Structure 1
Amino acid sequence: MVVTSKYLVPKGYTAITLFPFILLRDKQFNNPELLNHERIHLRQQAELLIIPFYIWYSIEYLIRLIYYKNKQKAYRNICFEREAYACEGNPAYLKHRQPWRFLKYIKH
């Protein structure tokens, strides 16, 4: 379910996915790449049964933050984000995506 709210999405972000919702800061319904990116996150969250996804995401972010010493680089190198950014331009990606595909993007 897609919801638009400038109050629920943190400043600096266009969208955030909190299962089962995709929250958009502005009306981005006509941005297919952004919506596909967030739908990839929905699939990742469902695969990991939601709570473990957020734990893994947080831990990996902290590890990468220590390594890169840069918030943006740490965020962009989380395996979940790497998969979503790499595949957001492919509208058919989720139809053919193999389970646990984000593991391919965990490399350093």
Structure 2
Amino acid sequence: MVLISKYLVPKGFVGITLYPFIFLKYGSLKANRFLINHERIHLRQQLELLIVPFYVFYGIEFLIRFIRTKNKYVAYQNISFEREAFENEKDLDYLNSRPFFKFLKYM
């Protein structure tokens, strides 16, 4: 389910996925198929890891990458979950053929 909330989406971002919802900063972003696909990839990742462990791994990986790079944006872009989503967001059929635990390839 896609919801609009400019207050839940962090500054500098246009969308965030908190299972089972996709929050977008602006209603017009609902038409952005690549953004929606990117966020749906995160929904699948969260479901595979039974939701809570996804957030734990995501946070730990962000902290490790932030310590290494000293740059929040670079750390964020290099999180394995984000790399999978960015790499495949333009393939609108990706989730139909994505194997289980595919994000492990990006670790």
Deviation at residue 55 of structure 1 after TM alignment: 0.1
Unaligned 5+ runs, structure 2: none
Q: Structure 1: which 4+ aligned runs deviate by more than 2 Å?
A: none
Q: 2:26 — aligned with what?
A: 26
TM-score by length of 1: 0.96
TM-score by length of 2: 0.97
SS in 2 for 1:29: helix
Note the alpha carbon deviations across 1:23-82, whole angstroms, 9 max, x for none: 000121110000000000000000000000000000000000011111111000000000
For these two proteins, the number of residue pairs brought into alignment is 106
Q: 2:84 — aligned with what?
A: 83
The amino acid of 1:66's aligned partner reads: I
The amino acid of 1:22's aligned partner reads: I
Q: 1:5 — aligned with what?
A: 5
Considering only aligned residues, what root-mean-square deviation do their CA atoms show, in Å? 0.5
Q: 1:47 — aligned with what?
A: 48
- Higher percent of residues as helix: 2
Supply the distance in 2 between the matched residues of 1:80 and 1:50 (Cα, whole angstroms): 13
